[in-house]
Amino acid sequence: MTGKALAAAGALLALSATPAQADPARTVAESARQVEPARPVGALVPQTRIASSIELGRIMFPSGGGGALGAIIIAGNNDIPQRLADAALERAETRIAPLRTALAGFDATPLAGDATLAAVQATGWLGASPPDLLTVSADESADGTAHPVLVSRTYSIGLWGPSPNMNTAAETWAGDVGAMQRRFDEAHADAAERAQVQWRYQMSPDFSQVQVYADVSLRRQGVIEPYFAQQVISVVRLDRASYIEEDNVTRWAANDAALARRALAMAFARAGEVLPHVLALDQANFTALTEEEGRQTATAAGYHGPLLVRDTTGPVFWAEDGDQRLAAFVATQTIRE
């Protein structure tokens, strides 16, 4: 057995013996909403350019002889998921290049700040206003550059369940987020609780959509993991998108990326509108709204689930999919040239 396999076996065995942490709550109880002094609020934007994304779905754990120990050794030497993710990333990064060039100089940070401020102002108990606005800089980035981030939904079905396929881009993203969160925590070291909205913006894998993710969470002092977390995905999709990725990129990039710039503004603004509705839910309402049976549903932008609200902008609905490791409120709208 190689040293690498032995190390993997030891790490995986240790992991299997470690009790899993409880998932954060999806709602905040009325009695826990208001705290004094008010929570500091951070708006985190850990990227400086629009991201590409890939979606490979599930990659099944390889079978083999040798029982549990043999499975551990295979897992320790199995780099197929990472190689597939890296190859998909290379293709996505090539396809997105014309759009990145057309978006040169575009800064989404003010859009994230405005959306966070709108959510705070509409949700009095969330925290203090205005929120801190934090973004990544080259000197604190994990790889020393102000880089785009890959958002990957791919994962492997391993010996103890699903695990994300981490590659260099994903690890760098995690490092950048950690650095920003530490900076926010250090600036408010005396706060008993902190609220944050972590933003990311990307193209869908087929380049038919601009997607803005808002991950809102509450954490207590001295605790890394949040006790509350919820996600909103704000999608702006092309009208009559092509099945050819390069054709979609061409449309987004035309006229100095005028369509993409407008779509990003629309997506961030919509997220700021939806967040207060999500934060207002108590457990009973959340349970009722996210149970599909007997409720009106929506299907849009590749997502499906029970409807929260539908207005002139578009539907907002709960989407949950184990194959995509998805559990979020999705807001969709269509942009036309």
**Coarse DSSP helix, strand, coil percentages of the chain, rounded to the nearest 5 percent:** 40, 25, 35
Could you report the per-residue pLDDT of 207-263, keeping only the tens digit for each? 999 999 999 999 999 898 999 999 999 999 999 999 999 999 999 999 999 999 999
- pLDDT score at 53: 83
Residue 335 has pLDDT above 70, yes or no: yes
Quick check: 72 and 12 in contact, CB under 8 A? yes
Instruction: Between 222 and 166, name the one with better pLDDT.
Output: 222
Q: Give percent of the chain above pLDDT 90.
A: 58
Q: Say which residues have a Cβ less than 8 Å from residue 60's Cβ, sequence separation at least 6.
A: 156, 157
Q: Extract the runs of DSSP E, i.e. beta strands, from 130-259.
A: 132-135, 151-152, 155-158, 161-164, 193-203, 209-220, 228-238
For residues 26-43, give the mean pLDDT: 95
At 160 the pLDDT is 42
pLDDT band of 322, cuts 50, 70, 90: confident
Give 169's pLDDT tier (boundaries 50, 70, 90).
low
pLDDT in the model for residue 86: 73
Q: Name the one residue in this structure whose structure tokens are 């973004």.
A: 135
Element (H, E) at 102: helix 80-102
For residue 164, give the amino acid letter.
P
Considering 82-96, 145-159, 309-323, the range whose residues carry the highest mean pLDDT is 309-323
Average per-residue pLDDT in the chain?
A: 81
| pLDDT score of 63 | 45
* Residues 220, 7: Cα–Cα separation, whole Å: 34
d(Cα 200, Cα 214) in Å, to the nearest integer? 7
- pLDDT for 131 equals 95
Tell me: the pLDDT tens digits for 42-75?
Answer: 999 988 889 888 776 554 444 444 444 444 444 4
The pTM assigned to this predicted structure is 0.83
Spatial distance between the Cα atoms of 211 and 226, rounded to a whole number of angstroms: 24
Task: Please state the rounded mean pLDDT for residues 98-105.
Answer: 94
Using one digit for the tens of pLDDT, what is the confidence trace for 173-213?
Answer: 777 888 888 999 999 999 999 999 999 999 999 999 999 99
